[in-house]
């Protein structure tokens, strides 16, 4: 079955396409790599801007039963959509004063500190209920998680594991996107040593890149995010995953400009010959980086069209002189991310990372969901 649905402003200047068949293909590919570990889905930041509700429903239909968001408010929005048959974890843990709301919603805090753990236990004692949680251990990233001394304290805390159901022991790799980093193995050993101090529970260490580091990093649950959405977890290895995301924007004007014409704010581009200029309805308010001035491009009918002049809040300008006159006009769509220019290539062009580009794409963009299980997505590697 194939189909297309959309969300967001109908007359948006820019459109993000989300290929749900490719999303499924990536999930299945990661499941094969990680087997027998389960595969979760990280859907924080509205599934990296692609729509957490649509992504979570799509993957839950494939059997995904574990989802991760960053903040409790994200979980409160998503929980009614995914229902009670999945585990929904809050990576940033348990905000002060939110204990009852978290418990009432049936979402699972990732306890990142001694204080969070004690507050969650206290609620269990007060209500006479046993609440689920994940426990994050600091294996060396020094960002979130219980340090070794608090792990030892927790192991000796009378009643904690009777009153709190630990669904998961987890940590996070700092250097997984560098395959050969010694830090990966050091963290893996540290994580397992810390987890060994506590009662047995399923373990989770690997993010997207960590899955490709091998079985020693998988534990019982892996937590991909970016890899699900089609970006390779390692620089220069874009073919590891099927592309999920496309971005296109609409031409709103085409004009002729004689030699000597300045273009855009600051007139930072001045034509040295007669040029044909198209103005495109996407700018930095939509998440397209201002740093693309002078180095970036869009594509139309397979032709690379350079961005000229500064990128504005709501528009950018491109040189379309290389196209036959009349070949492009108002209402035509140009490709910013797609077959001719991947998300990773866009990020590399401006010294960014794919996460930054993807999560920065604005809410003014319309999201188009393409769905067709019959489609085959080739992948090398």
Mean of pLDDT values over 327-352: 94
For the ranges 170-174, 178-182, 264-268, 370-374, the lowest mean pLDDT is seen at 370-374
Token pair recorded at residue 156: 């000796």
What confidence tens digit (pLDDT) does each residue in 66-81 have?
999 999 999 999 999 9
* pLDDT value of position 373: 55
- Give me the sign of the Cα torsion angle 152, 156, 159, 162: positive
Q: Quick count: other Cβ atoms within 10 Å of Cβ 3?
A: 9
Architecture of domain 20-236: Alpha-Beta Barrel (3.20)
User: At residue 211, does pLDDT exceed 70?
Assistant: yes
The alpha carbon of residue 238 and the mean position of all alpha carbons in its chain are separated, in whole angstroms, by 15
Query: CA-based angle 220:188:166, to the nearest 5?
Result: 45
Q: Which residue has the higher pLDDT, 238 or 4?
A: 4
Output DSSP code: residue 324: P
Sign of the torsion formed by the C-alpha atoms of 152, 155, 157 and 163:
positive
Q: Which one of the listed residues 27, 79, 265, 355 is annotated catalytic? A: 265
17 and 246 Cβ atoms separated by less than 8 Å: yes
- Residue 285, pLDDT score: 95
Average pLDDT over the chain, rounded to whole? 92
pLDDT digit string, tens, across residues 106-134:
999 999 999 999 999 999 999 999 999 99
The superfamily in CATH containing domain 245-372 is Lyase, Ornithine Decarboxylase; Chain A, domain 1 (2.40.37.10)
pLDDT in tens, 87-100: 999 999 999 999 99
Query: Cα 362 from chain centroid?
Result: 14
Give residue 9's pLDDT: 77
pLDDT over 80 at 337, yes or no: yes
**The dihedral formed by the CA atoms of 311, 270, 319 and 343, expressed in degrees to the nearest 10:** -40
Q: What is the pTM of this model?
A: 0.91
Whether the pLDDT of residue 381 is over 70: the answer is no
Q: What is the mean pLDDT of residues 351-379?
A: 78
> Given this model, what pLDDT does residue 319 score?
97
Domain ranges of the chain: 20-236, 245-372
| 194-200 LR contacts (CB < 8 Å, sep 24+) | 194/137, 194/139, 194/146, 194/148, 194/151, 195/137, 195/169, 197/151, 197/152, 197/155, 198/135, 198/151, 198/154, 198/155, 198/161, 198/166, 198/169, 199/161, 199/166
pLDDT at 73: 97
| Lookup: tokens for 376 | 């085959």
Question: Which pLDDT does position 44 carry in this prediction?
Answer: 97
Enumerate residues 6+ apart whose C-beta is below 8 A from 237: 381
Q: Identify whether 79 is a catalytic site residue.
A: no
Cα R_g (the chain), whole angstroms: 24
Confidence of residue 10 (pLDDT cuts 50, 70, 90): confident
Tokens of residue 200, six digits: 């047995």
Compare 240 and 165 and report the one with higher pLDDT.
165
Given this model, what pLDDT does residue 254 score?
A: 97
Mean pLDDT for 235-241 is 66
Mean pLDDT, rounded, for 329-347? 94
C-alpha distances out from residue 252 to 183, 243, 280, Å: 50, 28, 6
d(CA 206, CA 339): 29
Instruction: Decide if 32 is catalytic.
Output: no
Q: Given a cut of 80, is residue 364 above it in pLDDT?
A: yes
pLDDT at position 238 is: 56
Poorest-confidence range of 33-37, 113-117, 130-134, 347-351? 347-351
pLDDT-based confidence at residue 379 (cuts at 50, 70, 90): very low
Residue 29 pLDDT > 60, yes or no? yes
* Of 221, 177, 214, 174, residue with least CA distance to 195: 221
pLDDT class for 324, splitting at 50, 70, 90?
A: very high
| Cα 162 to Cα 114, 132, 152, distances in angstroms | 17, 11, 17
Please determine, for residue 166, whether its predicted confidence score (pLDDT) is greater than 60: yes
Q: What angle do CA 115, 121, 122 make, to 5 degrees?
A: 90
196 — pLDDT class (breaks 50, 70, 90)? very high
Coil, helix or strand at residue 31: helix
Which of 27, 44, 284, 369 is an active site residue? Answer: 44
* DSSP track, 220-259: TEE--SGGGGT--SSTT-GGGS---EEEEEEEEEEEEE-T
Task: Report the alpha-carbon distance of residue 231 to residue 225 in Å, rounded.
Answer: 9
What is the DSSP code string of 141-165?
--SSSB-HHHHHHHHH-TTHHHHEE
CA contacts within 13 A on the Cβ side of 283: 15
Q: What is the pLDDT of residue 11?
A: 83
Please state, in angstroms and rounded to a whole number, the distance separating the CA atoms of residues 380 and 8: 34
What average pLDDT does range 136-148 have in this prediction?
Answer: 94
Asked if the bond preceding 36 is cis, omega within 30° of 0, the reply is yes
From the list 201, 174, 205, the residue with the least C-alpha distance to 188 is 205
């Amino acid at each position: 079955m194939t189909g297309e649905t959309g969300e967001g402003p109908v007359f948006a200047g820019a459109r993000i396409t989300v290929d749900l068949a490719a999303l499924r293909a990536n999930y299945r590919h990661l499941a094969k790599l990680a087997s027998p570990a389960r595969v979760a889905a990280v859907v924080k930041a509205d599934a990296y801007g692609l729509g957490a509700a649509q992504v979570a429903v799509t993957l839950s239909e494939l059997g995904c039963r574990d989802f991760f968001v960053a903040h409790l408010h994200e979980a409160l929005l998503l929980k009614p959509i995914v229902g009670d048959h999945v585990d929904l974890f809050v990576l940033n843990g348990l905000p002060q004063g939110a204990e009852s709301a978290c418990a009432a919603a049936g979402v699972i805090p990732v306890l990142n500190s001694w204080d969070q753990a004690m507050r969650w236990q206290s609620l269990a004692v007060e209500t006479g209920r046993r609440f689920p949680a994940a426990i994050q251990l600091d294996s060396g990233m020094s960002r979130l998680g219980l340090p070794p001394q608090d792990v030892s304290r927790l192991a000796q805390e009378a009643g904690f594991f009777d009153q709190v159901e630990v669904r998961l022991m987890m940590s996070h790799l700092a250097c997984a996107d560098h395959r050969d980093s010694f830090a990966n193995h050091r963290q893996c050993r540290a994580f397992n040593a810390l987890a060994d101090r506590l009662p047995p529970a399923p373990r989770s260490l690997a993010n997207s890149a960590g899955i490709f580091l091998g079985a020693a990093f998988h534990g019982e649950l892996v937590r991909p995010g970016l890899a699900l959405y089609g970006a390779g977890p390692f620089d220069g290895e874009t073919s590891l995953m099927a592309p999920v995301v496309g971005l296109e924007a609409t031409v709103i004007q085409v004009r002729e400009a004689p030699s000597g014409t300045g273009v855009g704010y600051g007139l930072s581009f001045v034509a040295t010959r007669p040029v044909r200029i198209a103005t495109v309805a996407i700018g930095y308010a939509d998440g397209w980086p201002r740093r693309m001035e002078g180095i970036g491009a869009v594509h139309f009918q397979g032709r690379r069209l350079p961005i000229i002049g500064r990128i504005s809040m709501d528009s950018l300008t491109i040189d379309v002189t290389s196209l036959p006159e009349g070949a492009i006009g108002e209402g035509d769509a140009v490709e910013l991310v797609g077959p001719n220019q991947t998300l990773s290539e866009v990020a590399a062009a401006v010294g960014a990372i794919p996460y930054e580009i993807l999560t920065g794409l604005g809410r003014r963009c319309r999201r188009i969901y393409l769905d067709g299980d019959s489609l085959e997505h080739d992948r090398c590697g």
